[in-house]
A and B are shown apart, each in its own frame.
Chain A
């Protein structure tokens, strides 16, 4: 029987090894996600950010090592135990993963209808509140395909938090969004963490928003993790971290120069 691990981390990966086909993704990855904090997973494409979230959600199994979530080694749980842990987790998938045959209201109401004894009236109130929190109060009767990318991501976030989870996993919540929507989702995540004390694990390529919102950053590189606060990471002399952050600066530079020339 798995026991509670001795750590303040709500999520902890210990010596995780994982290969996808012949490609090794993690070899000896160890990192933690502190309770009630926002942890951002940074790293290049293929570094294993989404795979790490799948490990935490029990959607993928490590070849070796342990994954502790809310005090449980989730890969040693049976199906019932795993589902019990998942009831305490909300997950925002990159594409939203809303059921396209259901309206937005029904999508958001689904976890409540499945796992609570609330009446339809109570469910309606709660769903309405969550949709309002993400700024989508008038979209309940629309189908997912009728929403834009940013709205879809917000609707998926409403579904992820509708049953008050302790942990929310967000896979690339900013990808493909315009700056306004990036800001909007970023504020929503920060508010969730501040107001409800939810432990957030967010994967992102978007360095500015990551540095703004993160309490802790886990930088994935070469199958390992380099962790620290944003300030520690910015001051890091690890060549791989410096290179990654520098690449973003170089990419943003022409835009800044153009802005300066226009006097903006």
Chain B
């Protein structure tokens, strides 16, 4: 019994190390293709549309809703201490430093990351990637790199939009519905948020999350089994692995750089 456990542990460890090795090689290929000609600008713009523009509705709606809920919860809590004038600071800091980048990344993973993995996996299943190889076109260069890069670029922009809508949602609930003074709300927010630490920090976080989601989604699609079960496993795997990676990376970034 104990031997079997050791054997399983060994097998899993070797498998994990193998995966890490393959994903590192894959990452290296994606990065090196990003600096090589031809620059696939048209494909990149198309991917940016798919990841960015098509995620706008869900990101904006979610941002406004999260901001509204935070305004409501923050007001209820702060009123207990007579500190409702700090509502702007509470909403602003929570959204900018933490909720904005994390929730945006999770939303984009569910909408665009899973679609990205499914698309590449179905290209594997229908031999489209082999077709490219037979035309002497590297699929990492032609398919993967524009998608991964689009995710990296789109994520900070979507995060910024999420934050704007969340702050607006918080303002509507706090000021318009609950009667907090508008000037106080905005001033406390302005005074508490610092450009260097908070704004650049949130952009750094969302950039890292974008790179993570892009890498996980394209890798899972690329190594998918060429079956319908393979497509579904790639999609599910992307959502699970990318979501956990986002939360882990969030902790690491916060612990290391305090943003």
Name A residues whose Cβ lies closer than 8 Å to a Cβ of B. 54, 57-59, 83-84, 86-87, 89-91, 93-95, 97-100, 110-111, 114-115, 159
A94: B residues at CB distance < 8 A: 127
B123: A residues at CB distance < 8 A: 99
User: A203 CB to closest chain B CB, in angstroms?
Assistant: 14
Listed from nearest, the 8 A-B pairs whose CB atoms lie closest are: A97-B131, A83-B136, A91-B134, A97-B127, A86-B136, A111-B135, A93-B127, A87-B136
Option from B127, B132, B134, B138 in Cβ contact (under 8 Å) with A95: B127
B 2-34 binary contact with A (CB < 8 Å = 1; else 0): 000000000000000000000000000000000
B254: A residues at CB distance < 8 A: none
Do A114 and B135 touch across chains, with their CB atoms under 8 A apart? yes
Asked if B128 CB lies within 8 Å of chain A CBs, one says yes
In the complex, A94→B136 CA distance in Å? Answer: 19
Option from B126, B130, B131, B136 in Cβ contact (under 8 Å) with A114: B136
Option from B126, B133, B135, B138 in Cβ contact (under 8 Å) with A110: B135
Do B136 and A91 touch across chains, with their CB atoms under 8 A apart? no
Do B131 and A99 touch across chains, with their CB atoms under 8 A apart? yes
Do B135 and A86 touch across chains, with their CB atoms under 8 A apart? yes
B132: A residues at CB distance < 8 A: 99
Beta-carbon nearest neighbor of B38 in chain A: A114
Number of interface residues of B (CB under 8 A): 13
User: B51 CB to closest chain A CB, in angstroms?
Assistant: 14
Name B residues whose Cβ lies closer than 8 Å to a Cβ of A. 123, 126-128, 130-138
A100: B residues at CB distance < 8 A: 126, 128
Write 16 A-B pairs (CB below 8 A) sorted by A numbering: A54-B130, A59-B133, A59-B134, A83-B136, A83-B138, A89-B134, A91-B134, A94-B127, A97-B128, A97-B130, A98-B131, A99-B131, A100-B126, A100-B128, A111-B137, A114-B136
User: A32 CB to closest chain B CB, in angstroms?
Assistant: 21
Beta-carbon nearest neighbor of B137 in chain A: A114
A93: B residues at CB distance < 8 A: 127, 130-131
- Evaluate whether A115 and B136 lie within 8 angstroms (CB atoms) in the complex, with A93-B131, A98-B131, A99-B131 already known: yes
Give the most central of B123, B134, B135: most A CB within 10 Å: B134
Beta-carbon nearest neighbor of A163 in chain B: B135
Option from B130, B136, B138 in Cβ contact (under 8 Å) with A59: B130
Beta-carbon nearest neighbor of B127 in chain A: A97
In the complex, A99→B124 CA distance in Å? Answer: 11
B128: A residues at CB distance < 8 A: 97-100
User: A78 CB to closest chain B CB, in angstroms?
Assistant: 13
A114: B residues at CB distance < 8 A: 135-137
User: B114 CB to closest chain A CB, in angstroms?
Assistant: 17
User: B193 CB to closest chain A CB, in angstroms?
Assistant: 41
B127: A residues at CB distance < 8 A: 93-95, 97
User: A22 CB to closest chain B CB, in angstroms?
Assistant: 17
Do A110 and B136 touch across chains, with their CB atoms under 8 A apart? no
A84: B residues at CB distance < 8 A: 136
Do B126 and A97 touch across chains, with their CB atoms under 8 A apart? yes
Give the most central of B126, B132, B138: most A CB within 10 Å: B126
A91: B residues at CB distance < 8 A: 131, 134
Beyond known contacts A59-B130, A93-B127, A97-B126: 20 more, CB 8 A cutoff: A54-B130, A57-B134, A84-B136, A87-B136, A91-B131, A91-B134, A93-B130, A95-B126, A95-B127, A97-B127, A97-B128, A97-B130, A97-B131, A98-B131, A99-B128, A99-B132, A110-B135, A111-B135, A114-B135, A115-B136
